[in-house]
Each structure stands twice: as C-alpha cells, then as structure tokens.
Amino acid sequence: MILRRSRETELFGQATGGGVRLRHPGRADYNAWAELRRSNADYLSPWEPDCDEASLTRNSYRALLNACRRMIEKGRGYPFHIFRADDNTLVGAVNVTQVLRQPTRSAHLGYWLGQRYAGRGYARAAVRSVLEYCFNDLGLHRINAAVQADNELSVRLLQALGFTREGTARGYLKINGHWRDHDVYALLSSD
C-alpha cells in the first residue's frame, strides 16, 4: 500500500489494487458518503450501531473527519473510504482502529459496503490491501475483527482471508438498542 501526500494535508493517502482505491476520508467526500449511508441505512442496520439522520449532517461529518485526523496523527487508527477504481464511486469503508504498539502490536478491523456493492470482491480487495498495510507498513502482529455469527458475507470474507475464529464476545456491541454477541476472529502476521 502506498500512502501519498495530498494538497489537503499530509495525513491523507491513497492506495490502489484489486479494483478498489482506498483513501482517507476528505471533505469532498461528504455528499457521496452521506448518500451511501442514507440509502443503505436499512441494509446496514442489523450489523452496525444506530445511525440516525443527525449523524449524516455536514457538521457531523466534519467532526468525523477531525476524529479521523486525530486518530491518524496519534497512530491509533487508519480509516479509509473504499472507491471503485474504474469510476471513483464510493462503495464503503474499511477502518483500522484501536491500534496498540509494543508489546501486542495489534489492531481492530471494521468494514462496510453499500448493498449494491456487496459480493463483488470490493470488500475482499480493500481488506486485503489494509492487511498488507497493517502487517508490512505498520509492523503489526495481530488484526482482530468482530462479526455477528449470522452475518454470512462478513464471516465468509474473514475466513477466505485466513482469519481464525477465536470465540464469542458476549454483548460486544449495541445495535438497534440491543447488546449483540459477536464472534471474534483474528489474523496473525507471519513474522
């Protein structure tokens, strides 16, 4: 994964591969992001924490960008928007958060796609690129991901990329007002 400087700030980089382009979120992405989130609210609601209309405002997005910048500056997280490479359409996001350095060298992985883009290889390409970045560039040893057992697409993706199920985290995330159990998966570097 190659991260490059842009005119906006040196914190924003991009990578390409597997039919996707990854880039840290930017101000110019607001309209596409808000429309994608809004039009997929029902599709994403079983898997993601509550997302209401107030979280889709321009001010909320600015706050999100500021949080992203702080995460990157502190080396604690690396959020990426996923764009389809051939036409630069925003299709989802992949985020590396909870980055811990020595001695654990670990992070948490999360991702989402709009419904019409699911099952087309975009998530696999994006996650594969982010894993390469985590292991090769950040020097991490362990990547964790948590998924509800009935999220079949996500479970298949993690298994296809070599993640191993390690157990169940009870009441892991509050979704639609209820604490949901999540299966915990992990992938270790080869070093």
Within a domain: 5: no
Residue 5 pLDDT exceeds 90? no
Within a domain: 80: yes
Domain that holds residue 112: 14-188
Query: What values do phi and psi take at 20, rounded to 5?
Result: -130, 160
Which one, of 174, 165, 183, 100, lies nearest residue 139 by Cα? 100
Query: What's this model's pTM, rounded to 2 decimal places?
Result: 0.89
Confirm if 180 and 160 have CB atoms less than 8 A apart: no
For residue 20, the cross-strand partners are 17, 84
79: left (phi over 0), alpha (psi -120 to 50) or beta: beta
DSSP state of 116: G
Calculate the alpha carbon distances from 120 to 28, 34, 39, 157 in Å.
25, 22, 19, 11
Residue 2 pLDDT exceeds 60? no
More confident residue, 6 or 87: 87
Total tally of structural domains belonging to the chain? 1
- Give the pLDDT confidence of 128-177 residue by residue, as tens digits: 999 999 999 999 999 999 999 999 999 999 999 999 999 999 999 999 88
Q: What is the CATH number of the domain that holds 67?
A: 3.40.630.30
Within a domain: 9: no
Within a domain: 145: yes
Which tokens belong to 40?
């997929």
Within a domain: 160: yes
CA–CA gap between residue 22 and residue 19 (Å, rounded): 10
What burial class does residue 125 get, using C-beta atoms within 10 Å of its C-beta: 0-12 exposed, 13-18 middle, 19+ buried? buried
Token pair 């995460």 in the structure block, residue: 71
- Give the pLDDT confidence of 45-98 residue by residue, as tens digits: 899 886 778 889 999 999 999 999 999 999 999 999 999 999 999 999 999 999
Within a domain: 8: no
Using DSSP bridges, classify how beta strands 14-17 and 20-23 pair: parallel, antiparallel or unpaired: antiparallel
Within a domain: 127: yes
Banded pLDDT at 15 (limits 50, 70, 90): low
pLDDT at 8: 34
Within a domain: 90: yes
CA–CA gap between residue 185 and residue 160 (Å, rounded): 12
Which one, of 81, 78, 79, lies nearest residue 36 by Cα? 81
